[in-house]
Each structure stands twice: as structure tokens, then as C-alpha cells.
Structure 1
Amino acid sequence: MKHFLIWIFLFFFAMSGLAQDLNIKGQITDTSGESIIGVNVKVKGKDTGTITDIDGNYHLQAAPNDILVVSYIGFITQEVPVKNRTVVDIRLIEDVKALDEVVVVGYGTQRKADLTGAVIRADIKTLKRSPNSNVLQSLQGNVPGLNIGQVTNSGGTPSMSIRGTNTLGGNKDVLVILDGIIYTSSLSSINPDDIESVDILKDASSTAVYGAQAANGVVMITTKKGVEGKPKITFSSSYTFSNPTHNYCPMNREEYLDNVRDFYYTEAFLGPDYTTPNPDFDLASKLPDAPLRDENGNVSPYNYNWWDEGTQSGHLFENRFNISGGSKSINYMLSYSNTDQRGFIVNDDFKRNSVRMNLNAEIAPWWKIGIQTFGAFVNQDGAEPGLWNLITQSPLIEPYDENGKIKPYPFNTLDTNPFMGSDIDDYERHNYFFGNISSEIKLPLKGLVYRLNFGNNYRVDNHFQANQYGYNLQGEAYKEHTGYYDYTIDNILAYNATFGEHHIDATFLYGASERKYDYTKALGQGFTRMTLGYNSLEQATTRYVYSDAWREALCYQMARVSYRLMDRYLITGTVRRDGFSGFAANNKYATFPSIALGWIISEESFFKIPWIDYLKLRGGYGISGNQTSRYKSLSTVASEIRYIFGDGGKPVIGQEVSALGNNNLKWEKTAGINLGLDFTILGQRLTGSVEYYSTTTKDLLYDVALPDITGFSKIASNLGKIKNKGFEFILTSKNIQTSDFKWTTSLNFSTNSNKIVTLTGEDNDGDGIEDDNISSNLFIGQPISAVYGYVVDGIYQLGDDIPAGFHPGNYRIVDMTGEGEITPEDRVILGKGDPAYRFGIMNTLEYKNFTLSFFINSVQGGKDGYLAANSSSLVRDQNNLRWNRISAWDYWSPRNPDAVYARSISTPKITPTVYEDRSFVRLQDVSLSYAFPKSVTNKVGLSEIDLFFSGKNLLTFTKWHGWDPEAGSTYSGRPVMRSFSFGVSLTY
């Protein structure tokens, strides 16, 4: 018995030893062998757990028979038996479904895998180091179907459109949603560093939740919020210097004088070819103004550079501070940013200070509240010199007299000194305030939540100016005050539930919004002294007061139901009803439905294509609306001087109805389909999507001109039909993925075209074909942007057979009718202003702690597309003799027969507009950053230190003549800036 008891004791002792926990360690890596930080490693069924460190290593205790549960966002969760091992290395496999991010879809969020509409998230993080003071600049060329223009002034907001143009006279603005609330102020007020994500809703089925306000697409901006953990403090600072991509400048003294000679080539040069200088030519006698000559009648000796005086090197200096953190029940994000930007033109300045607070709290397990609020304070003091006058001032004259005072009219003509526009007292401030307060309550029924959003948007604009040169040099001053306020209140009821293989996500909305605007201006003219300037307008001889105001209101209801079956069959239906105060009494409301279907083919059991990881087919149909401006349906009154009682009498203001009201004016409607295919292939190496869309817009909002005999000028009406279609493609490729080196490429491509199907339906010439509206440049069967004009084939040269009414140096117009003379009947459709296609390519290369990215953006016109006016036709007259020109603009003369622009002695019978293709390929953004290793950052008490260098608009390849193909016309446009930026980011 004694021996038996000893054996029993020894057995249980051994068993207890076997049951003791083991000290287990290991490393977690991905399929490429790279370690993963922050992976959760838990013992199944126990509270024991840990996370991996910076090298992917973990340590914990577990029994020999325990099971480790390993999970991380974006990877398949694994259960790994310990099996009495002390070293357990684990390789995680990426999960395609988990990689499908959650996107903002309007009044809620949705897994990308569950989307049935055309929704895409912009990649703003790749371009976060670019010198952009406006978030839209980071989106340029980044998203297929989203078209962003260039910014050519400090703090400017570029133009924006989604999928082309669907309207003639309706609202053309893209709807911007900021943290769930419609944002109607300038995007230049938002600090780009505060933004977490930007989602774009493009088709009717995805924009339907916003009804008629979303006719031109929706941009959803979501700002950052805090996460659970200790406070995270980030500070970044960057400095950017910039100059024009093409620093054209006006002609200097000799070039200017050569220009005058070329205007008088028949006298300044000897025939018959007029290329040999005539030594007897008296140049000074041809100068049109006395200030261009000295006291002896000779050419003025000056060579003044007006351009250098009125321009400067640009810069952008930014400092950003952010602190965030939180606990299980509350999270916060506080930020401050300071932006100081100086443009190329003197006084083109933009200074912004912005503060933000985002706060989310769980008051109770069933109640959450949130606050997203910010204030932005913009200083744009200073007026720019007149750009046109800066170019055209002659180098033979100077802006200041011998006493240092401005010469108001340097030519002794009505042409003003450009510095009269900048040497003034100018105060311009814009203050923006935004606040969204939300409350979310879980109702007793599981999955049912009520959310209340109350958003406020307030803006105050003040522009004060005192100009001692105004009002015919007698002095002028004014104060302008603009106030804007809107509020939005949304009641949202959301239901989310899963029943076995069935999932339902429903959203119901009832909301209202009101917008108010007021404007006041006080103007004084004629000052004996301007010491107090705009702060003492009562000293003016003549004083005026102006005011304006408007108010509009909207109300709406919406229901959206999404249903998912077996994680593969998807359907979304939406109905939105909108009411707008601006529509006629008979049509205040309209209803806009949509439906969309999705099928995840790769989830089917019969789908056995090994190289296709994920495949989803989408299709949707919907009707969206477009609203008119607030008073279009009403008769409008014009006020102006109608009578003066005798000589020197006071004018009497009269009023008359100028536009006829229309009680039947109704909503413009666009019906469209969208087909999409999402895919991931080749072991998740390639991910992309393809979209095709086609829309038809009818009941177009358009002002129809009325005959003067009616006493009215126009009436707002519904007429015509437009078709719009396009194709979009985006592809992301993981070219190389190793532990030390990664190379990723993202490509996007898009096309868009539209055409006018019908207008008024009128056939005045009786040929059975509807008439075009030539005066408005609208043509049946042609794009909205159709270019109509004369076909130009070069410039007439000396010795050419030149038709009557034209001269050497004039543009050569093609006789399209063959009648032997040039008439307006020779005008034809030359092409269109819209491009044929757009594409962008982003490459990102990561080597250890270095990251290099470069982005190429291109817009191509194809055949006769992306045209814009780019012509100049100089004729010898007083103005063209005195005015200077940009030296790079290439004008005709017998010495320069292959010139781009026309120049002649006499005015031609017809002066055509010449159009050029604006196609370009641009190396738009390049960024290089270095993240210091943890061994360095830990020593200085920081978690991250990043250094970065970036460049913007570095190279542009184009045949366009002028500042830039995206910057506008040759003369009225402004230069696009090439920028270089460097900075540092510190995180504690």
C-alpha cells in the first residue's frame, strides 16, 4: 500500500507539472514575411492575451493544450494550437472581405463589400505631404469621374465637377457633406490635416439619399476623431516656395521697340521681303504718346520692369498641431493650424488660423453624443495690381515721378497705373464657424437606433477699402459686410439586423434646412482728406448705401433599405422626397427613387477560377433632381434710373418687371443607369473596378429669351433633353511586396461625353429639323461645350492670293461653303471644350524607412476635344502701339512668318477666334519621406519623427501656348505655380 500511494503521488505530481503554463513566444508576419505590429494574441476561453511589438514579437503564458486566437484588422483570424511548444510563429493571411473598408454613404456608413452604387474613397493619405492649402487640390486627378481644376491664387478653391455636365441652367455645384451636414461655405476654410477620409458618391443610386441637392454628385468629408488610448500629440511644420511653371514676362525695351517696328514693317524695313532694316526709319515719331519720348523727341531712355515690381516669389508656411485620445466612454480630437500663403502677384495673400474640436462620448450604454465643431479665420488683406495693366505698361515709362508719387495715367490716356490698384488700404476678412451636435439613442428593439443631427454653418465676410486714386483721383472708400447662416436638422431612424443568412440595413430620414443671407455696403466718393479712410465715410462728398438679402428653405424625407442574402446577393432601394421654397407654387415637391443590385459572384460555390479572389457585379437605376435658384419661378423687378427732373436735377429710381414669372416651373430630372464590376485577382495583387453610366436629363431649367415687345427679357422654363455617358476604370497593383521593399501602383482612367437631344423643339425654317440656338452656343446633337466658329488655316503671308477684306498677317479663314468669300455661313462645329479622357498614375515605393511617391496627371482632348480660345490678333492702332505684350507670345511679321498669333497693319473683314487643344501630361506630385527608426525616436521620447520633401507641378508636357492648359485663356489667365516643400512631423 505504501508503494502504491507513492506511485499515485508521483503520477499526480508529474501530471501537475505537465499542466503548468508554458512561456510562449513567437513572431507574427504577413504572407510576404514582414512583421505586423499590434496583432491581438489571446488564449481561447481565457482572459490571457497580449499584442505584438514593433518587430511583430509576442510573449505570453499558456498551457500546452491551449489554443491561441490571433486576430488583426485586414487579416483572417486564426486559431493555433500550442501543442506543448514554447516558440509559435504565425503567418497571417490577408482577408479580402476585411480589407473592404467602411465608406461613408450618407446618413450612415456601409462596408465596401455591401455597396451597390458608384462610391469610391479618395487616396488622400498618399498626397498628404503635398503643399495643398485646400483639400480639393489633393484630389486632382486622383479619382476617376471627379474633375478638379487648377488653383492659381492663394487660398483659392478649384473648380469641381463629377461625371460631366447634366444641365444648362440648373445648379451645377457638387454637394459637399462635412461630418454628415451639408457644407455651403468655402472649402478653403477647412484645414486639410483635420480630414480623415473623402468619399465620392457618383451615381443616382448612391446620391439618391440627398435628392435634388445631389444632382451633380456628392463629396463626403469626414474629419478625424480620437481613439481609445493615451493622448497622442502630433506637430508638423512645412515651408514651400513656389514660382510659375512658365515665368513669362512682358517685353523689355528692345523687344517693345521691335514690336512697333513690326507694326510699321513697310516703312521700318526695305521691300520686297521687308526683312532688311531701313536706316532712315524714324521710330520715335511712331510712338503714340508723348511720355514714350524724351524732351528732345527721342525714344525714352527708360527700360523699367513693371512685371518685377508687381510680382514676387510665392511661399506657403504651415504649422499644424493635433492632440487626440480617449477612453472606452469618451474620445476627443483637438487641432490648431496656421497657414500663411503668398502668391505670385503682389498682395495675393492668404492667411488662415483654424481650430477644431471633435468630441464623442458614451453617456450610457444606450446613449451617445457627439460634437464636431471648428472655426476658421481668414485674412486676405491687400489688393493686387491690375494684371492686364501690369502686362501692358510700356518699359519706356516709369510708375513714379521724381517725387516718388504714382503717375496715375502713365500714357496720358485712360490706361491706369496698375499700382493704383495695390497702393491702397484694403482690409478683407472671412470668418467661418461650423458646428454639428449629434445624439444617438439605442431604442428597446435590438438594432434600432435614433440619431439627431443639428448642424450650424455661419459665415461673416468683411471687406473695407480706401482708395485715394478712386473716383477720378478724388478718393473713394467703402465698407461691405456680408452675413450668411444656415442650419440643418436631421431626424434619422436606423435599423440593422441579421437573421441567419439575411441582413437588413434600413435608414429613414426626416429633415429640414434653412439658409439666410444679408449684405450691406456703404460707399463714399470724393474726399478732401482720407486720413481715416473707410472709417469715416461721412467725410465723403457723395455717399451711397446698398443692401440685399435672401432666404430659402428646404424640407425632405428619405427611406433607404439595403438587403443582403448569404453575403452574396445585394439590393438597395431608396426613395427621397424634396421640397424647396424656390419652386413654383404648383411644384414645390418632387420624388426621386432609385434601386440597385449587387452580386458577389466569387462567393458562389460553382465559381472555381483560382486566380480570381473576389468578383462583384453591380447595377443601378435612379432618378435625381436639380433645383433652381431661389426666386426663378417669380417675376423679378429691376431698379435703375428712370427720369431726371431738369438739368442738374436728382435722378429718380424706377422699377419694372424684367423677368416673367412661371407658376408651373418644376424640377429638372435626370434618370440614369450605372453598371459596375469590382474585382481582386492574382492572389490580391490586382484590385480594381470598372464603371459604365448613362443618364438622360429632361425638363431642363433654362431662361428663355422673350421678345422686347412683351416688356420682359426672359422667363424661366423647363425644356429640352440632354444625354450623358461615360466609362471609368481604376486599378491598384502590388508590384513588389517584400519585408524591405514595396512598390504599389494605382491607375485611374475615365471618359465622359454629353449631347443635347432637344431644346425648344422649334423649326422656324421648315426643314423638319429642330433649330439650334446659335446665340447661346447650343446645338442639337452636339455636346454642351461645342465650339462653333471659323476654321483657321494659318496666317496670310506676303505674296499670297489674299481675298478682299484681308491683309498679310491676318488669320487665313477656310471658305467652308465654297462660295468664294468669307461670311458667317462659313462657321462650323470645330470640336468641344470637354476632354476625351483623363488618366492618373500614382506610384509609391517604400524601402525600409524611406517612402517615395510620384503622381502623373493627364487630360487628353483626343480628336477635336478639350479646346479653348487661344488667339490674339493685333492690328496697328493707338492701343496696340502703346501696349506691351508678353515676350513669349509669338506674333507674325515678315521676319517671323511662322508665328502663332496674327499681327497686321489693317483690320480684317472678319477676325476669327482660334482654338487650341489643351491636352497635357503633368508630373503633378512627387514626395519623399523618411521615418526615423524606433531606436532613435525612443531616445528623444517621441513615437514618430518624419522628414519629408515634396514637389508639385514639376513638369508639364503640352502644345498649349500660354500660362498653363488648365489656367484659362492666354491673357486673362494666371500662372500655375511650381512648388517645392520640405517639413517635419513629430508625434508623441
Structure 2
Amino acid sequence: MGIARQSSKAVAEITVTGTVKSEQGLPLSGASVKLVGHTSGTSTDSQGHFSISVPNKGGRLVISYVGYEDYYVNVTKSNANHLDITLKLKSEQADSVVVIGYGTMKKKDLTGAITSIRPDKIAEDNPKTVQDILRGTAGVTVGLDGSAKSGGTIRIRGQRSVYSAGGHNDPLLILDGVIFYGELSEINPDDIAQIDILKDASAAAIYGAKSANGVIIISTKKGKMGKPRINMTSNIGLTTMGANRRVFSPEGYLKYRQDWYTEASYGVNKTTGKYEPYQGEVAAGKQGYYELPTSSMLDHYGITIDQWRDYTTNADDASDNEIWARRLMMRGTTLTNYLKGKSFDWYDHSFREGVNQDHNLSVSGASQRMSYYLSVGYLSNQGVVQGDNYRAIRSNLKVDGKITNWLDISANINFQDRSDGNIAVDWGKQITTNSPFADYKDDDGNLVVHPMGDEITANKGYNFDFDKQYMSLERGYTVINSIFTAKVKLPFNITYSFNVAPRYQWYYNHYFTSSEHPDWIATTHGADRGNGKRFDWTLNNTINWSKAFAEKHQVKLTLVQEAEERKSWFDEIKARNILPSDALGFHETANGDPLYSSFSTTDSHETADALLARLFYSYDNRYMLTSSVRRDGYSAFGTSNPRATFYSIALAWTFTNEKFFHWTPLNSGKLRVSYGQNGNRSLADPYIALANLANGTGTQGYVDPSGNYIQYYYLRIDRMANPNLQWEKTTAYNVGLGRVNK
């Protein structure tokens, strides 16, 4: 009986295969394929292929992908072998969902200026950083950063403030619904599903005191229905100089020195009355003094080679090249190398072609009750500057569970361990202080400490490779960013959400410069050991209520209570004049001389809270209103102004939904008008409103029983308290016209 049932089931199903592509013919990876009326489903692989079992009698499949219109197809035995399916982009994605802060909304209902970056664009661009995803977005300016870490500053609709310290002009970052205090480098672009950018004041005002520079909302990927999917991406590329602005070649360097000294000799020729060279300084009356003697030069000035030589007192065996070089003030090493025809390209030795590697692996899947997404990535970048390196290991775990019909929970844990411990060449110093005739290595192949020569007093040159032998650096961060969410469906179409997002960061900076270096003294060089940690948390309680009535009216209400806290600690010791030797580098700080060493500690503590409300009303999909009010409090502001209130209102009219509008080439047209207030609380010092005590110039001290001299500084007030310090506010009026043509 059991065998018969299994055999019956086997012949009662057919396997349907197919490929899902975009209108441009590109495969759509991760598209959902479901059998209508059943729970079974699958998703496409990286090539857009899928395979799904349906009953022997056939069925109806629905294929869906974010940003595209759903596609329905009837399947039977006759067409089950292979389906070629092309999905069409939604018209301006009017029905696509946009994250607007503490909730979502269909794009057709928006009243503010919000830009969404679709998943397919993110996948096609193959970005290296989050900034790469944002490049080319209207109203968003992304700077270029040629370092190994890469990235670049982000500005939404320009710079809002002349005050720039403390990231004062940076946009607010939101990750999966909560404030993100980390760096964008902590977010793997491969884990991003969608980015929404709130650009105008009315859209961003929901974030009140932190939104003056716009808001970037990042949503990460989730598992999709079907079998577990394993994705692997591997990218290897080169970083090269955008433009080579080379310094002088050996020949160009000699011409530069000749022109420099010749220019200084210009004056009025008392005989001709003209402004000519060789009228002043040591070259007065000595035509061709700074020029290499050639027959044409001698004929030009009407002098002989002996006359040219007799301008200076020279050694008996001095060649004309040596005489000329000495007049150009070349001495010692550079003179010797010039006469030998020996030169070195310091420019090429300061820059390189950097090799970049980015490898990512993800595993994801979903069932009716749970979805999961796990990824790990390794990033290794080399900048174009020698010694500029960056390494990061990133991982993300996201689990969503449907516990009951009324309770959903989720956890998102992001991990990063990155190393910023690179000692890069000071290329500006190396290519401008070293002559092309400066030494890199001596005749025995040893690196030279003074490329321009030991006999030079003013500029002995700079050799990075020599200095690096006496330096070491270990610097890095370990970060765990987590988000825990619970969502409860209540009666009367009310949804309650609870989010808490703790973030931990550990930081270390171990730097050593050895006094064994010929030019570095022990009292100013040694070991620096710094260690710090940071703990932040954000908590919000959100209530959303929506109601549609009388067929044409739609109302949505959002109420939020939010609280946050940030704490940081940093301790650093600087050991100098380490005795008897600094051979152990930054691993030895206890034997530093107390007279030249120091210990410092810094900590900070900030708190903030907020209450806000937002109301959305739509009539007949034609007229829309969004209004919000937010009350913020922040510990860094003065006692007279610890809180501030921010308002916004926005109106929109979808004129293409009017009965009188019949122009078919225009799919959707909307007129928007908005007003909003935003605040900016980004301060470099969270205690700037308080008076500050600092060391004065006076000292006193005593000798302890062990014979050590203990010295104290008098205290002074270097900053008065400012109880009136308050939010920087921006007020904006916006008018916008949106349209989509067929």
C-alpha cells in the first residue's frame, strides 16, 4: 500500500523548468516562483533558472521580483519543458514599497522627495562600497576617495552648514529601521536589498534633530521562499592613478635649477637699458654663467669656453659638467650621482597599481514561518600610494520568524573586524624633497637614511623605506551591530513594533617609532598603546494604525517613542626614553621614562530621547497630505534649550488621476508642495555646552619618599559654560513635479 501511494504521487506531478529575465535580457536572480493556491514555491538561481513541481493536471504559476510586474502563466505537460519568462518593470514602480522612516508606504502615495535605489540596480552595478551604490543618484553628491579604504563623503542636496566638525554635514544613516552609528564600510554592499533616500525637509523631518542633512535608509536582504540558496561572488580589480602628474625627470630637474638661478640674476643692463639675465647676484656680467657650455650657447653670448670656465675657480680636473652642476648648487651625493649618470625615479617608487579583492559567500532560504540570511565577506584593498592597505572581514546574520499569526520577531547581527594598520609613504614629501639624483640605496645595496647626502644641512631628503624599518603599527576595529525587533498585530488594524539596537565597538592603536633610527631621539620617540571601546543603544516603540473607509478615504497614523544612549572609553599610554632599550617595540611600555612619558584617558556619555507623530491622509488617490511633529531632547545642549520641536507638512496632487486628464503618453504625474523643519545635533564635543578645566602654566611639586619629583599643574578654565547652546535648525520649502512617460 505504501509503495503504491508513493508511485501514485510520483506520476501525479510534473516538473516545470524555465528562465526569468528582464526586458534587457538579463537573468533575474532570486525571483520568486510560486504555484497559485499552494504553499510550494522556489526562486531562480544566479542564471535566472528555476525548477518547480506542479500537479499532473497542471496549474498556474506567479513569478514576482521586486520592482517588476507579477507574471502569471498556466502550465501543463505540453509547455512544462522550458518557460522563457520576461518580466516588465513597474511603471515608476507606483506600487513598490518605499521605506519612509518608522514605516513603509507605496510610492504612489508619497508626498515628499524620496529616491529609491532598486535591487536590480545594486546587483548590476557590482559596487565595492555603499558610496558606489549612491553615485549618480539625483540630489546626492558622493566624493571620491582614492585610499585603500575607499568610500567618500556624502552630501544630500548640498552642504547645509558652515560648521563641519563632528560630521556635521553628513546624512543620517538608518539600517533596517534603526539609527546606525557606525561607518558605511561596516555594511557589505552585497548584503543590501534596497536604499531609500529622504531628501526634502518634509520627508526627513520624522527624524527631527538628526535629519538636517537628509536621511539614507538601508534595508538588508532576507531569505526567500524555496530551497536554500548559496551565492558566491568574487571580484578582483586594479586601482590606478586617475592622472599622473609627474615631477621632474633628471633632465627636467637640471633645467628647473638652471631657470631658478638664472631668474634670480635678472636685472637692468646698464649698457643696453634692457631687463636681462646675468645682471645681478654672483653671475653679474658673466654671460651664460648658469648654462651648460655648447657651441651655440658660446656663440650666442660671444664668449669662449675658457672665458666661461674662468667665471669660477675650479679644480684642475673638473669637467665642464661638474663646473656647471656646482654653479647650480649641486653638492655631495647629488653631484656625484649626476656625474655618474645615476638617477632614481622617486615618483614611481611612491605609487603603484593596487590590487583589490572582494569575496562574498551567502546562504539564505525561507519557509512559511521563518527566513534566514547568512553572509560572510573578505575585503582586501591596496591603494595607489605605497603602503596604503586595508583589510576587513564582514559577516551578517538575519533571521525573521513568524511565531503566531499576530507575533513576528527578527534578529539582525552584523559583525566586522577591520585593520587600518597601514604605514603609507608620505608621497608629497618623498617626491618634492628628493632630487632625481638622490640616493635610494648605497653602492652596497643598503637603504640610505639621507637620500640627498649627509653633508647637506637644510634638506637631507626622505626615504620612506628606510624609515619604515624603524616603525610598526597595529590599528583596527572590531564591531558588533545588532537589531532585535518584535512586531505585534493588535485589533482595529493596529500594529505595535519594538526595536532595540545595541552596538559594541572595540578599538586598538599600537604605534612604535624606534630611537635606533639615526635621526630619532629616545625622548620624543617610543611606543604608543591606545585601547578603547564604545557602547551605543537605540530603542523605539512604534504604533502604526491604518484605515480605509468610504472607498475613497485612507488614513495612516504613526506614533513613536525613542530613546538612545552612547558611551565611549579610551585609554592611551605614550612611553618615551624606554630603558635599557626599545627593542620590544610597543610591547614594552612599563620602562618608559616618567619625565617624558604620559598616560591619558578620555570618556564620553550622551543621551537622547524623542516623541513623534505622523499623519497621512489620501482622498481618492488624487489628493494626499502628510504631516509630522517631533519633540527631541539631547544631553549635549545647554540647560536652557535641552529640547526642540520640529514640524513638517506636505501636500501632493496626482493630476493624472483626474477625470479631465486624458493624455495617454503620461502614465503618472504628481505635483508636490512641502514645508519642513529639520535639526542638526552633530557636535565634535558632546560637552561643548559645559565649562572646561585645563592645565594652567603654573606648577608646583614635591619629592616623595623614594626621591621622585612629583609635579602638578595649576588648573584654569579655558572655556566658559554656554547654557543657551541649542540645535541648529534648517527650514525648507519645496515644490516638485514628478512624471513618468510610457
TM above 0.5 = yes
**Cross-structure match for 2:217:** 220
Q: Give the Cα separation in 1 of the matches to 2:218 and 2:474.
A: 31
Alignment-mate amino acid for residue 531 of structure 1: A
Partner of 2:607: 553
1:518 alignment partner in structure 2: 569
Who is 1:717 aligned against?
Answer: none
Are positions 1:486 and 2:536 aligned together? yes
User: Whole-Å Cα distance in 2 between the matches of residues 383 and 372 of structure 1?
Assistant: 35
Cα RMSD of the aligned pairs, angstroms, is 4.0
Counterpart of 1:884 in structure 2 is none
Matched-pair contact (CA < 8 Å) for 2:514–2:520? no
1:101 corresponds to: 96
**Identity of matched residues, %:** 25
Question: Pick from 102, 107, 111: which aligns with 1:112?
Answer: 107
When structure 1 is superposed on structure 2, of 554-563 and 279-288 the one drifting more is 279-288
Distance in 1 between residues matched to 2:103 and 2:616, nearest whole Å: 12
Of 225, 234, 239, 1:237 maps to 234
Deviations 1:225-273 (A, max 9, x none): 1112110001111111222021233323222222111111258999976
Matched, 1:328 2:368: yes
Query: Does 2:354 match 1:354?
Result: no
Question: What one-letter code is carried by the residue in structure 2 that aligns with 1:494?
Answer: N
Q: Deviations over 1:837-868 (max 9, x none)?
A: xxxxxxxxxxxxxxxxxxxxxxxxxxxxxxxx
Question: Which residue is equivalent to 1:163?
Answer: 157
Aligned residue among 692, 698, 714 for 1:636: 692
**Structure-2 separation of matches of 1:90 and 1:256:** 66
SS of equivalent residue, structure 1 residue 432: strand
- Is 1:260 matched with 2:302? no
Q: Which amino acid letter does the alignment assign opposite residue 531 of structure 2?
A: H
Q: In the alignment, which residue of structure 1 is the partner of 2:527?
A: 477
Question: Are the equivalent residues in 2 in contact too, given 1:438–1:453 (CA < 8 A)?
Answer: yes
Shift in alpha-carbon separation, 1:33–1:658, aligned structure 2, 3 A: closer
Normalised by the length of structure 2, the TM-score is: 0.78
**How many residues are treated as equivalent by the alignment?**
646
Contact 1:292 1:300 in 2 (8 A): no
Alpha-carbon distance between aligned partners in 2 of 1:27 and 1:472, rounded to the nearest angstrom: 70
Aligned to 2:422: 382
Tell me if 1:427 matches 2:481: no
Conserved 8 A contact 2:627-2:649: yes
The answer to whether the aligner puts 1:532 opposite 2:588 as a matched pair is no
Asked if the contact 2:41–2:226 (Cα under 8 Å) also holds between the matched residues in 1, the reply is no
Residue 633 of structure 1 deviates from its aligned partner by 2.0
Pairing 1:697-736 to 2, within 5 Å after superposition = none
Structure with the higher fraction of residues in helix conformation: 2
Deviation at 1:291, TM superposition (A): 3.6
Aligned mates of 2:364, 2:391 — CA distance in 1: 25
Q: Which residue, out of 548, 552, 564, partners 1:501?
A: 552
TM-superposed deviation, 1:578: 0.4
Instruction: Check whether the contact 2:92–2:740 (CA below 8 A) recurs between aligned residues.
Output: no
Task: For residue 126 of structure 1, give the secondary structure of its aligned residue in structure 2.
Answer: helix
> Which of 494, 497, 501 is equivalent to 1:451?
497
- 1:467 partner amino acid: T
Q: 1:288 deviation in Å? A: 5.1
Residue 321 (structure 1) shift: 0.2
* Alpha carbons 2:292, 2:324 under 8 Å: kept: no
Structure 1 segment 799-948 matched on structure 2, within 5 A: none
> Following the alignment from structure 2 to structure 1, what is the Cα–Cα distance between the partners of residues 126 and 582?
40
* 1:543-582 correspondence runs (5 A): 543-582=597-636
What SS is found at the alignment partner of 1:586?
coil
Measure how far apart 1:489 and its partner are.
Answer: 0.7
1:660 is aligned, of 720, 723, 734, to 720
Does structure 2 conserve the Cα–Cα contact (< 8 Å) formed by 1:261 and 1:283?
no
Q: How does 1:34-433 map to 2 (within 5 A)?
A: 74-75=68-69, 96=91, 99-122=94-117, 125-126=120-121, 128=123, 132-140=127-135, 142-169=136-163, 171-265=168-262, 277=291, 279=293, 280=308, 282-286=323-327, 290-294=331-335, 301-392=341-432, 393-401=434-442, 404-407=446-449, 410=452, 411-413=456-458, 417-419=462-464, 421-423=467-469, 424-433=471-480
- Structure 1 residues 519 and 138, CA, compared in 2 at 3 Å: closer, same or farther? same
- The one-letter amino acid paired with 1:395 is P
Higher mean C-alpha deviation, range 456-465 or range 109-118 = 456-465
Counterparts in 2 of 1:263 and 1:652: CA distance versus 1, 3 Å = farther
Task: Work out the CA distance in 2 between the residues paired with 1:325 and 1:457.
Answer: 26
Q: Which residue of the partner structure matches residue 937 of structure 1?
A: none
Supply the AA of the counterpart residue of 1:417.
Answer: Y
Q: Quick one: distance in 2 between partners of 1:52 and 1:476?
A: 59
2:734 counterpart of 1:674: yes
Aligned counterparts of 2:669 and 2:98: Cα–Cα separation in 1: 19
Deviation string 1:439-476 (CA, Å, 9 cap, x unpaired) is 11112x13211111110222222111121257834342
What CA distance in whole angstroms lies between the structure 1 residues aligned with 2:576 and 2:543?
58
Matched AA of 1:454: V
User: 1:312 deviation in Å?
Assistant: 2.3
Q: Is the 8 A contact 1:76 1:95 kept in 2?
A: no
Instruction: Select between 158-167 and 579-588 the one with higher mean Cα deviation.
Output: 158-167
Q: Helix, strand or coil for the counterpart of 2:208?
A: helix
Secondary structure of the structure 1 residue equivalent to 2:458: coil
Instruction: Classify the secondary structure of the residue corresponding to 1:537.
Output: coil
Partners of 2:398 and 2:527 in 1: CA distance: 41
Give the Cα separation in 1 of the matches to 2:24 and 2:185: 43
Distance across 2 between alignment mates of 1:89 and 1:402:
71
* Whole-Å separation in 1 of the counterparts to 2:86 and 2:479: 50
1:245–1:495 distance in 2 versus 1, CA, 3 Å? same
The separation in 1 between residues aligned to 2:192 and 2:649, in whole angstroms, is: 31
What is the TM-score with the length of structure 1 in the denominator?
A: 0.59
Structure 1 residues 447 and 138: alpha-carbon distance in aligned structure 2, compared to 1, 3 A threshold = same
